[in-house]
Structure 1
């Protein structure tokens, strides 16, 4: 119990309920199957990609190490969000403890930022490969990957840590139903009886700083790549150069398009059904994870050949 300024008391919340699509139960029935398939696809495809890169000596190169990091991030994000959503769909187990909710909040914010930063480092890798090919082996080394991984980890771990801390320090005085399938910061914070202005500004500030700066640097890299490609005179050189960037550019589009649509639906939430942003929140954690390894596996000859060799060995 906690006393209020007016002398009344109220019970302090000790756990939350994830409401998900409780007002639209048909959504849960229809979504459970495709969501399960996407989850299995994401887990299986990323596991195959990681195994292939680990076992194939020819793939022990900086570019594929970065791709391995991306797969690990995708796996963690999927495991953090999708199993709980499926349990809600199948068994209506909506309760989530305080600690589990804020841990999920932290992992989602931290790992989405790490994924965005990984895309930025991969864009720099492609920029060096095309614009400075002779210097590529001396710049993009194993040591570079280690330093990049440390930077990605440190930046996002430190800058996103205040998000769940600020949210956890709020006073939750009665309402405990989260109108979402996940413990998104603002979905949780707005249940409190305290002022959430600091939470909102920090979330927006960090989000736009991290994801925005990464996106600007990615587009800058591709602008320089495009300029260098257009200067190439050799026959077929343009197509070859662009093909080396194709997979990476497609993955960036997957990641940022869903994120952009999610932001736009929140801005125009009066004009869209409340279930739509909730659905996009969930899909943003599984669709890129399912498609990333498939795109690289299909478009990258070395990975495709590595997977084929592994399958032949298994048989």
Structure 2
């Protein structure tokens, strides 16, 4: 703790503790963390490589899969390298500017991840409910425009949090009990009025998660209605199979996120190290599982990946 007290006297730095209460186990915890990170990078870069090389995969659905892979890579890379530096080398100090920059990229990537999932739900809606006009409605150019809109939205959502914090005075005790600069954890380090910061975090999280989940639910409600209007059972199964992969990705993405946020807002009796572990799991799990789900469940992608693996 002597190094913490010495470093926190510097008004331009924070101290990231890692996982509070489990400092002695940091090296052991770093093993699964680094393995998940490498697996996530390997899986997502494989998807990006295969789709970029195969012209037959230059379709809206696979462009969306690539967008999802890029956001997963950005989310993990904005957090995990610094966490591993804490676990392996005890490099706990982090400049205020670096901390706020990490916060921006992390939350922008999370918001973009959610935007891509909404666009995928719209893609599945068109594929099932209006298949004859699918290639007309969802062109590669339109997917690129939707991706740009999602990116702009993500920046507008993520930018106010670090800007609001940059105007706040920080207290002498700048020890953050976390592996990364999570917004509320940094807000607790300020000595000024934090009502706006806290309300912004709660409202934005509720609006983004709530609105995106409502749009996804609406898409699948319309899909289910269209499926039940089809008399052929074989057509039923084929229509639902087109949505299975996306539903699996939604579950892996939103379930850990919702559970982590609920425990953060309402789980007052939960130990701090549990909060931190959950906060790390909610972005690690989708990063590792998403490329596996798409690689296994999407036949075209599965065949192309297998082809490249056989060449090695």
Structure-to-structure mapping, 1:171-182, within 5 angstroms = 171-182=169-180
More displaced stretch, 52-61 vs 207-216 = 207-216
Identify unmatched segments of 5+ residues in structure 2.
1-8
Residue by residue, what CA displacement relative to the aligned partner does 1:105-157 show, whole Å, maximum 9, x if unpaired?
00111110010010000000000000111111110101211110110011111
Q: How many residues align?
A: 304
Shift of 1:271: 2.2
What is the distance in 2 between the residues matched to 1:62 and 1:274? 42
- 2:245–2:297 contact (8 Å) kept in structure 1: yes
What is the distance in 1 between the residues matched to 2:271 and 2:102? 25
Query: Aligned to 1:310, which of 305, 308, 311?
Result: 308
* Matching residue of 2:26: 28
Residue by residue, what CA displacement relative to the aligned partner does 1:274-295 show, whole Å, maximum 9, x if unpaired?
1111111112222101110110
Structure-to-structure mapping, 1:114-193, within 5 angstroms = 114-193=112-191
Shift of 1:239: 1.5
More displaced stretch, 72-81 vs 85-94 = 85-94
- 1:12–1:173 contact (8 Å) kept in structure 2: no
Report the secondary structure of 1:135's partner residue.
helix
What is the distance in 2 between the residues matched to 1:299 and 1:36? 26
* Matching residue of 1:195: 193
Shift of 1:186: 1.1
Shift of 1:258: 0.3
Report the secondary structure of 1:20's partner residue.
coil
Query: Aligned to 1:271, which of 249, 269, 278?
Result: 269
**TM-score, normalising length from structure 1?**
0.93
Report the secondary structure of 2:213's partner residue.
helix
* Matching residue of 2:231: 233
Shift of 1:311: 2.4
Query: Aligned to 2:56, which of 34, 42, 58?
Result: 58
Shift of 1:95: 0.8
What is the distance in 2 between the residues matched to 1:297 and 1:308? 9
Report the secondary structure of 2:72's partner residue.
helix
* Matching residue of 2:212: 214
Identify unmatched segments of 5+ residues in structure 1.
1-10
Residue by residue, what CA displacement relative to the aligned partner does 1:201-243 show, whole Å, maximum 9, x if unpaired?
1122222222221110001101111111122211321221111
Query: Aligned to 2:257, which of 256, 259, 274?
Result: 259
Report the secondary structure of 1:286's partner residue.
helix
- 2:111–2:157 contact (8 Å) kept in structure 1: no
Larger fraction in helix:
2
- 2:20–2:177 contact (8 Å) kept in structure 1: no
* Matching residue of 2:5: none
**TM-score, normalising length from structure 2?**
0.94
Query: Aligned to 1:290, which of 263, 275, 288?
Result: 288
Give RMSD over aligned pairs.
1.4
